A and B are shown apart, each in its own frame.
Chain A
Amino acid sequence: MIEVKDLRKYFSSGILKKQYIKAVDGVSFQIERGETLGLVGESGCGKTTVGKLLLRLIEPTSGKISFDGIDLLQLKKKELRKVRPRMQMIFQDPEASLNPGMKVGDSIAEPLKLQGGLNKREIKNKVSELIETVGLNPEHVNRYPYQLSGGQNQRVVLARVLALNPDFIVADEPTSSLDVSVQAQILNLIRDLKRELHLTLLFISHDLEVVRHMSDRIAVMYHGKIVEIGNAKDIFNDARHPYTNTLISPASIVDIKTTSDYHGVSGCVFYPGCPFAAEICSKKEPEMVEIGSGHWVACYYIS
């Protein structure tokens, strides 16, 4: 369904002396149809950037993205607009994803109106249908986002996203701005809908427990690179990369030295903070190695 190859995004700043921030630095993965891939990593590691790149909300520096056989990066603006409805994104802050001046019902109806082909009554029916699917009450339609709670707003966002029957959804920390009590409800709703509607999901989060709950496979990201990827089970029971281990049981290993000038490092991205760092780690970047079925790790330590 989704195939990403060597995706890179460098942000540059400065006019005379360009400085680059490698937000995403050579990321490759695949997502099968109907599968949920969880993407974990600390904040600032490039998770969200990967999500936005997949939907071409920002343009990558280099790399290849294919979506259902379509080479996304080759598409012209017009062609892209035709493909876009099939891929959607759920953002972290539900209230920010809704226009504050628009009634919630209008926000849900917007995608339907833009796609055309439905008359007013059909749109209205479809909106009520969607409202019900995500577990809202019909009277919520006439409210504004500021009049609803975070959880309710996230349901609205879901309804809006589902309006166009997408195949692929990027969920970027959809629950991290919500109350703990509401988080589980929204997560279960996403999971149920995914099953019911046969969606393909990229689930981004910094919370490993949440990702475990949601995902079939998990990719662990550190400083713009994927360091380990595999089935959820393998990642939790048989984590190989030292960084994955610190994520799973933070207490077990000495604290990571967070450095800001890792950009100059030529070897492994995790080298400055790694407790097992050897000489080679600082010199050459480790390749991804398959150590089990579909379980890939980029680390010298495992071999």
Chain B
Amino acid sequence: MTEIKDLNRFWNAYKESRLGLIGLAILLFFVTLAVFAPYIAPYDPHEMFKPMEHPGSDHLLGTNDIGQDILSELIYGARVSLFIAFFVSVVSGIIGTAFGLLSGYFEMFGFFLMRIVDAFLAIPRLPLIIVIAAFMRPSIWNLIFIFIILGWPITTRIIRSEVLSLRTRNYVEAARMVGAPDTYILMKHILPNVFPLLVVRLIIEASHVIIAESSLSFLGLGDPTAKSWGMILHYAFVYPTIFISDLWMWWMLPAGLCITFTILSLTFIGYALEELVNPRLRGMTRI
């Protein structure tokens, strides 16, 4: 009962943010595309027709250089991009939260872990991703692995700083005084209270991952068989006459817009949630 009430309260507060609603609508649109791709897409994205057809009634956005329907590619592309983003942010979120909780609560462990995190954070992210991706066999799972490895330290640092503050709260001390063991305090009193911050962090991480995946694919370091938006851009970009004809308008632009709008939607949602978590920001990002 109260969980439903809580959700209602949350939704009522979230509704206040116009940006948040816009973001949610865009994201839902792409999620629908991804989930129902086989029903929405007019063709199988791997099926080949006559190459380089211009947009027409058969192929709304034309076909690419090997005759695949570009619209279908885009729709299936939502699957790849969103899946990677979701998977990475959840897994690196779990790892980052676990380490963040432990390192915030146990000082010695935290001290040593933070030096490792420092090392990770000192490395510029995208160049490293490019280097690793170049040496590993390009596949979706390798990309996911790299993103997780690079994503958790940031989450850990953020969660840790929150735990450091939470663990000195009176209710944590009060729990300790009634004989609560450390694990209980962490799970029951600290974890639920870092959760709002974590959600914001996951959303931001998801948008970072989408950018990184698109960049890598665009540079040709992605999975060549996966139908991601970045990959569409890559194949279009290497096609000889792409910019001296109108081709880019239906081959490149839609994929670019898809990436842009997905990231925008995540950013908007992130803003809205951040306002909820930190009421001091309220009204600063309103349009």
Task: Write the residues of chain A forming the contact surface with B, with a CB cutoff of 8 angstroms.
Answer: 52, 55, 57, 81-82, 84-85, 87-89, 91, 93, 96-101, 103, 107, 110-111, 114-115, 142, 157, 160, 163-164
Chain B residues in 8 Å Cβ range of A55? 177
Chain B residues in 8 Å Cβ range of A84? 176-179
Per a CB cutoff under 8 Å, which of B169, B178, B188, B193 touches A164?
B178
Q: Mark B166-181, 1 if CB is under 8 A from A, else 0.
A: 0001110111111111
Complex CA gap A160/B177 in Å reads 11
Q: Are A114 and B178 in contact (CB under 8 A)?
A: yes
Q: Is B189 an interface residue (CB 8 A)?
A: yes
Q: Are A96 and B171 in contact (CB under 8 A)?
A: yes
Q: Are A160 and B174 in contact (CB under 8 A)?
A: yes
Q: Is B124 an interface residue (CB 8 A)?
A: no
- Distance in Å: Cβ of B163 to nearest Cβ of chain A: 15
- Distance in Å: Cβ of B197 to nearest Cβ of chain A: 13
Complex CA gap A99/B176 in Å reads 13
Q: Which bracket fits the contact residues of B?
A: 10 to 19
Assuming the A-B contacts A81-B179, A99-B189, are A89 and B173 also in contact, with contact meaning beta carbons closer than 8 angstroms in the complex? yes
Chain A residue at minimum C-beta to C-beta distance from B180: A114
- Distance in Å: Cβ of B194 to nearest Cβ of chain A: 11
List the 7 closest pairs (A to B, CB-CB), nearest first.
A111-B178, A97-B170, A91-B170, A96-B170, A99-B171, A81-B179, A101-B192
Task: Write the residues of chain B forming the contact surface with A, with a CB cutoff of 8 angstroms.
Answer: 2, 169-171, 173-181, 184, 188-189, 192-193
- Could you list some 23 contacts between A and B, CB below 8 A? A81-B179, A84-B176, A84-B177, A84-B178, A87-B177, A88-B177, A89-B174, A91-B170, A93-B170, A96-B169, A96-B170, A97-B170, A98-B174, A99-B192, A100-B193, A103-B2, A110-B178, A111-B178, A114-B178, A115-B179, A142-B2, A157-B174, A160-B178
Chain A residue at minimum C-beta to C-beta distance from B189: A99
Complex CA gap A99/B173 in Å reads 11
Q: Are B184 and A97 in contact (CB under 8 A)?
A: no
Complex CA gap A97/B173 in Å reads 8
Q: Are A111 and B170 in contact (CB under 8 A)?
A: no
Complex CA gap A100/B195 in Å reads 13
**Does more than half of chain B's interface fall in helix, strand or loop, or is it mixed?**
helix
Complex CA gap A91/B174 in Å reads 9
Chain B residues in 8 Å Cβ range of A96? 169-171
Chain A residue at minimum C-beta to C-beta distance from B193: A101
Q: Are B179 and A114 in contact (CB under 8 A)?
A: yes
- Distance in Å: Cβ of B205 to nearest Cβ of chain A: 24
- Distance in Å: Cβ of B269 to nearest Cβ of chain A: 22
Complex CA gap A103/B178 in Å reads 17
Chain B residue at minimum C-beta to C-beta distance from A57: B173
Chain A residue at minimum C-beta to C-beta distance from B1: A142
Complex CA gap A88/B178 in Å reads 8
Chain B residues in 8 Å Cβ range of A89? 173-174, 177
Complex CA gap A110/B173 in Å reads 13
Chain A residues in 8 Å Cβ range of B177? 55, 57, 84-85, 87-89
Complex CA gap A277/B176 in Å reads 44
Chain B residues in 8 Å Cβ range of A85? 177-179
Complex CA gap A85/B176 in Å reads 9
Chain A residues in 8 Å Cβ range of B2? 103, 142
Chain A residues in 8 Å Cβ range of B188? 99
Complex CA gap A262/B159 in Å reads 38
Complex CA gap A36/B171 in Å reads 24
Complex CA gap A111/B188 in Å reads 13
| 10 more A-B residue pairs beyond the given contacts A91-B170, A157-B174, with a C-beta to C-beta distance below 8 A | A84-B179, A85-B177, A87-B177, A89-B173, A89-B174, A97-B174, A99-B192, A101-B193, A114-B180, A115-B178
Complex CA gap A208/B184 in Å reads 39
- Distance in Å: Cβ of A249 to nearest Cβ of chain B: 34
Complex CA gap A91/B184 in Å reads 21
Chain A residues in 8 Å Cβ range of B175? 99, 110
Chain B residues in 8 Å Cβ range of A98? 171, 174
Chain B residue at minimum C-beta to C-beta distance from A99: B171
- Distance in Å: Cβ of A113 to nearest Cβ of chain B: 9
Complex CA gap A101/B188 in Å reads 10
Per a CB cutoff under 8 Å, which of B176, B180, B184 touches A57?
B176
Chain A residues in 8 Å Cβ range of B189? 99
Complex CA gap A99/B184 in Å reads 13
Per a CB cutoff under 8 Å, which of B169, B179, B181, B193 touches A111?
B179
Chain A residues in 8 Å Cβ range of B171? 96-99, 107
Most buried by A among B171, B181, B188, B193: B171
